[in-house]
Structure 1
């Protein structure tokens, strides 16, 4: 198996709503599967981008409409991602850490929120958030299996 990716960049600008996110995830998955030799990285991209973009829709744009921009740069032994929006900033200007749940917790006893960020932290590398003017920028990468 080839352990590198081609250098073609994927850029999308979509409305910040759930339907547009679903369509964008399908387009991104098709493009990444055409470029990647490792299907596991495509699966990780779907999970991480789905969590990130749905958080933008649900939280950053909770009180208004907006757009989400996604730039994906495959290359070498990883894929770099930049997701930007003009929604509300992250609480306290920092990334949520995510929350683990004890085994055996009843579904109706699960606390709200935090699980998506736990997945993001577990699957992505080099996660960075910053607020630039009125924009949120979230950068991360996904490493190919066996990457240094």
Structure 2
């Protein structure tokens, strides 16, 4: 089966709610996000929290496809683990390292430059950092390792 049509493999070990391996392409990202949604279902999260987590994972995966792999084939591994009040998300890939061997600061894009000068990109890392409690990046043994802690908001916590 061609890489475009391969679905991620999900093999949850230990206390993880999901272990997903995907190919760095649009179809792989879509299939992985479906598996993230399925892993989050049943946790009793608010719709906003569910959406925020999915948005962050989508931004991370799309950045890897575009920037780390440059739209070339390559594997991406995602592990989701529940911890006290957070979802720990670890993403690994063998693509190019992040510039300066550091995750971008996530400064908000300038929108005061006039309509024609508004940047096309630059919003992803702002969103990632806005929703994650902790962002850690390391390059080890030819592999990018990004870890995020995403707060969990359960519907039962916000009920009157």
Structure 1 length as normaliser, TM-score?
0.85
Match of 1:51 among 56, 59, 63: 59
**Structure with larger RCO (C-alpha < 8 A, sep 6+):** 1
Q: Structure 1 residue 16 and structure 2 residue 50: aligned?
A: no
1:106 Cα deviation after fit: 4.2
TM-score by length of 2: 0.79
Structure 1 residues 115 and 31, CA gap change in structure 2 (3 angstroms)? same
Superposition deviation, residue 35 in structure 1: 2.4
> 1:122, 1:47 → 2: CA distance?
11
Structure 2 residue matching 1:13: 3-state secondary structure? strand
Which residue of 2 is the match for residue 3 of structure 1? Answer: none
Q: How does 1:1-148 map to 2 (within 5 A)?
A: 8-62=16-70, 64-103=72-111, 105-145=113-153
Partner of 2:7: none
Aligned-pair Cα RMSD in Å = 2.1
Q: Distance in 1 between matches of 2:57 and 2:140?
A: 21
2:74 & 2:16 partners in 1: Cα distance? 27
* More deviation, 94-103/104-113: 104-113
Check 1:74–1:109 CA distance in 2 against 1; reply closer, same or farther (3 A cut). Answer: same
Provide the C-alpha distance between the structure 1 equivalents of 2:71 and 2:54, rounded to a whole number of angstroms.
Answer: 26
